A and B are shown apart, each in its own frame.
Chain A
Amino acid sequence: MAYFLQQLVNGLTLGSIYALIAIGYTMVYGIVGMINFAHGEIFMIGAFISLIFFVVLGALGITWLPLALLLVLLIAMALTAVYGWAVERIAYRPLRGSFRLAPLISAIGMSIFLQNYVLLVQGAHEKTLPPMITGGFDLMQSGGFVVSVSWLQLIIVGVTLLLMAVFTAVIRLTPLGRAQRATEQDMTMAALLGIDVDRTISLTFVIGAALAAVAGLMVTLQYGVIDFFIGFLAGIKAFTAAVLGGIGSLPGAMLGGLLIGLIEAFWSGYFPSEYKDVAVYAVLILVLMFRPTGLLGRPEVEKV
């Protein structure tokens, strides 16, 4: 029971991170109808920028933790958002209206490019960051096994929930959210009614990248080890989360993220952990085969 609970805690933490990345996939898919294959790399870049600025701020003498965290969070979100914007502007916007596979191939090219760019400018070795936020509390104890929850895990889940709430409010209540929903339903009609479609799509990528940067920061804090290759796996898992929850649906992305995190944590806890990635891929394949709309998605109508 205690072991189960511990895996639950770990799974929820991991799931929060996946959920933040999954939002980027699901929003872009909802609006533009393409898989932003480079989104995992955006997350990786967010993690790198976070790590770099932790080190830089430390060197500048800003060591009061809440201030440093806040600054890194804001800087990482802003700079990663520029990456998200640039990727859309360079690799996707010129291809709107091109043949079907063009944006996807371009996205794969972008993903390869970004991965090797970071490899080239930051090196192939793993980067480590000493633990910043330590401590926690014991949730319960049974049979000599202690279920512990670290403050960091609480912060991760808390920040994720907060961002989700803010984000849902943005989509529901603001003019930007209205424009996004209109563009999602019918791009041409939205443009005719005076919505700047290009700007709306750009902002979608910017928001997605900023959320991915938060996920990157959290991974850097929680695991302390990053390298240029982390975006690939995290990207696929977050995409699986988006598909599982129903691609295009925001609550779906959150639900899917948490479920994937839990699946991974419980698989590592009870089955051979080398195969935990296989478990996630299997979920992806099974969901796409038997319920392509996911748990909360709407069925897609194929139009001529």
Chain B
Amino acid sequence: MRWAPPLKDAGCAALVALTLAFPLIGFQTSDAGVGFTTRFAWVGVAAVVVFVGRLLLGFAPQRFRLHQRGVRSTAVSDGKFVKLAAAALIVFAVLLPVTPLASRRSIDLATLALIYVILGWGLNVVVGLAGLLDLGYVAFYAVGAYSFALAAQWYHLSFWEMLPLSGMTAAMAGILLGIPVLRLRGDYLAIVTLGFGEIVRIVLNNWTAVTGGPNGVGDIPRPTVFGMPIASGAPVGVTTFNQFVGIAYDPMQRLIWLYYVALAVALAINWYSLHIRRLPVGRAWEAMREDEIACRALGLNPTTIKLSAFATGAMTGGFAGVLFAARAGFVSPESFNFQESATVLSIVVLGGMGSQLGVALAAVILATLPEFGREFAQYRMLIFGAAMVAIMIWRPRGIFTVRAPSVRLDRP
């Protein structure tokens, strides 16, 4: 008798899957003209997969099932493992360019992964700590990248001058957007930030006189080493880094230098995020996330607290934007679409909102996933989407669940 309910349940699920798959998988319309091909075998496959999956779920131990309603306590690991893993990760990151793994491709990819780590940590402050869902985070990334690209083009400012300035510009953009919208409730805020992100992209795309429109901005300078460029030859009066230390020029050196710069920025941001969380303002972020009304009753000003989180996140996004521009040497509006915001959000969600290590791991996985083959790249966003739903259902605190709560009250 125990078999009957799960079987019936799985049968129903398979029937639904059949109905869902029938129109969209069963018929493939041709791109040109009016025609179609049928693929009914795949409809059957979909139904069987759903049947088996649902059946397995039906027999799974209780803790894997759905409907774990209500508040659950944050799982806390003892911290030792986390520290060890973090230390190992940092050592690996520092040594990467001298390991056999190092190649032009891998270092470039690692730099991209670090940019996503920085973006993830920045959005983590906004979503994970302060609980403000920002769907237009890519706007601040764009502000950082474009302010560097345009300042380099018009005023010949260097990477090191623009790194802090772009961060500040992005933070200002965050404050300017934040002042009017942070009074809004959680889900309205999400939609408004989404709209803001799209407005930034559309303006970048169409304001051709300043931003170059869809063609973007090119010739973005690479970071120098204490003012000395890494180059094979230099104009008169400029000492290159290679001449200074007396080693031959190799294009690899530029990549490695940018990689270390990105790593340094990432570690600085990590240090900052870990420390600010213990300061009153960081505590206020988390308190605000848990209960805004209680916070207001305790005399905290919601607007300034949210604004500080928003500005911190925006500034981090700006830093990431500068690194992105320096890595590619070129920026265009295409890089800053909603898909990018969604990717960063899924990094934060997958990594566990609020967990530094989890977000870093998720960012590295997401950035390197497409490298494992083109088929994988095709399924990437599909998997992200499904994973976001699954994580919200089973592990709302993220896969890795290593975030130590800042304050913990044990039940007697």
Contacts and interface: CB of A to CB of B under 8 A. Distances in A.
22 contacts: A51-B29, A52-B23, A55-B35, A56-B36, A75-B23, A97-B70, A104-B186, A105-B345, A105-B349, A108-B345, A108-B388, A109-B346, A109-B384, A109-B392, A112-B385, A112-B388, A113-B382, A114-B385, A118-B24, A278-B202, A285-B196, A288-B191
Contacts of B36: 52, 55-56, 59
A288 B29 contact: no
Interface string B3-32: 000000000000010011011110111010
Interface string A69-109: 00000010001001101100011001111111111111011
A82 B24 contact: no
B20 A83 contact: yes
Contacts of B388: 105-106, 108-109, 112
Nearest to A109: B388
B184 A98 contact: no
B67 interface: yes
A208 B334 CA distance: 33
Contacts of B191: 35, 236, 239, 243, 284, 288
A299 to B, nearest CB: 13
Interface in B100-159: 127, 131, 133, 135
Given A55-B27, A103-B392, A105-B388, 19 more contacts: A35-B191, A48-B24, A49-B24, A79-B22, A97-B69, A99-B71, A102-B392, A106-B393, A108-B135, A109-B349, A109-B384, A111-B385, A112-B342, A121-B24, A127-B29, A284-B195, A288-B184, A288-B192, A302-B293
B338 interface: yes
Which of A53, A106, A108 has the largest count of B CB atoms less than 10 A from its CB?
A: A108
A239 B188 CA distance: 11
A56 B388 CA distance: 35
A233 to B, nearest CB: 9
Interface string B316-353: 00000000000000000000001000100110010000
Q: Top 3 nearest A-B pairs by Cβ distance?
A: A109-B388, A113-B385, A112-B385
Contacts of B382: 112-113, 116-117, 120
B190 A109 contact: no
A236 B195 contact: yes
B381 to A, nearest CB: 4
B89 interface: no
B345 to A, nearest CB: 7
A254 interface: no
Contact of A120 (B19, B190, B192, B379): B379
B24 A96 contact: no
A123 interface: yes
Nearest to A52: B27
A97 B131 CA distance: 17
B280 interface: no
Interface in A251-304: 272, 274-275, 277-278, 281-282, 284-285, 288-289, 292, 302, 304
A55 B69 contact: no
Interface in A153-184: none
Contacts of B387: 109
B389 interface: yes
Contacts of A109: 346, 349, 384-389, 392
Given A56-B27, A108-B135, A239-B191, A275 B202 contact: yes
A176 B385 CA distance: 33
Interface of B: 16, 19-20, 22-25, 27-29, 31, 34-36, 66-67, 69-71, 127, 131, 133, 135, 180-181, 183-184, 186-188, 190-192, 194-196, 198-199, 202-203, 205-206, 293, 338, 342, 345-346, 349, 378-379, 381-382, 384-389, 392-393, 396
Nearest to B177: A285
Nearest to B23: A49
Contact of B195 (A97, A126, A275, A281): A281
A291 to B, nearest CB: 12
B133 A105 contact: yes
A171 B334 CA distance: 44
B15 to A, nearest CB: 10
B341 to A, nearest CB: 10
A202 B31 CA distance: 35
Contacts of A143: none
Q: How many of chain A's residues touch chain B, expressed as a range?
A: 35 or more
Contacts of B386: 109, 113
A239 B135 CA distance: 15
Contacts of A103: 392
Contacts of A75: 23
B31 A123 contact: yes
Contacts of A90: 389
A83 B387 CA distance: 19
Which of A34, A104, A121, A274 has the largest count of B CB atoms less than 10 A from its CB?
A: A121
Contact of A99 (B66, B127, B396): B396
Nearest to A101: B133
A275 B392 CA distance: 36
Contacts of A108: 135, 342, 345, 388
Contact of B184 (A35, A53, A94, A292): A292
A104 B187 contact: yes
Contact of B389 (A113, A130, A236, A302): A113
B290 to A, nearest CB: 9
A111 B191 CA distance: 14
Contacts of A51: 29
A83 B382 CA distance: 17
Contact of A284 (B19, B192, B203, B345): B192
Contact of A121 (B28, B181, B186, B384): B28
Which of B187, B196, B345 has the largest count of A CB atoms less than 10 A from its CB?
A: B187
A58 interface: yes
Given A99-B396, A100-B186, A121-B28, A277 B385 contact: no
Given A79-B19, A102-B396, A108-B345, A236 B194 contact: yes
Given A95-B392, A122-B28, A292-B184, A112 B35 contact: no
Interface in A29-57: 34-35, 45, 48-49, 51-53, 55-56
Nearest to A111: B385
Contact of A82 (B16, B27, B69, B190): B16
A222 B336 CA distance: 31
Contacts of A49: 23-24
A250 interface: no
